[in-house]
Amino acid sequence: MILVSACLLGHNCKYNGGSNDNAAVHTFLEGKDWVCFCPERASGLPAPRLPSEIRGGRVVSKAGDDVTREFAQGAEKALAFCRAHGVTRAVLKARSPSCGVHAVYDGTFTGRVIPGMGVTAKLLAENGIELLDEEDIEKGAW
């Protein structure tokens, strides 16, 4: 079973109220068993919402609000969802403070990217779920 970031499948759960609908991910999932999930929406955050980034081990919104607890709750809910559905692999949205697999924005809201993982991605990886992002899928991984 594969978990997919809901925004990659056209769900309007992204911070700006839109999605990251991705044709390569749709194609990849054809004939496979998958479920989708948005940890930020599951934590109760609205869509649209202010963008957030990871800074110094916390998660902060662009207005400076500390949303670390919400992001942690979203990650825990994602892990519980994965366990309930027998998820072993996940395709997550690149660079998201929740879902980023290889890199995240650096906390300055300037578009700079640094190596690292989103809060949910990190928790899923720590619990043995194999992760890729949509850019890996576009390059033909798996």
Residues that bind ligand SF4 (CB under 6 A): 5-7, 13-14, 38-40, 93, 96, 98-99
Shortest CB 93 distance to ligand SF4, Å = 3
Which residue lies nearer to ligand SF4 by CB, 7 or 79? 7
CA distance 15 to 66: 16
Shortest spacing between CB 42 and ligand SF4, in angstroms:
8
With beta carbons less than 8 A apart as the criterion, state whether 46 and 15 touch.
no
Query: Minimal distance in Å, beta carbon 142 to ligand SF4?
Result: 19
Residue 13 CB, shortest distance to ligand SF4, in Å, is 4
Closest to ligand SF4 by CB, 61 vs 98, is 98
Nearer to ligand SF4, 10 or 114 (CB): 10
Q: Are 120 and 107 in contact (CB under 8 A)?
A: no
Q: Which is nearer to ligand SF4, 12 or 55 (CB)?
A: 12
> H or E stretch including 90?
strand 89-92
Burial of 140 (C-beta count, 10 Å sphere; 0-12/13-18/19+): exposed
Q: Is the dihedral of CA 94, 119, 34, 142 positive or negative?
A: positive
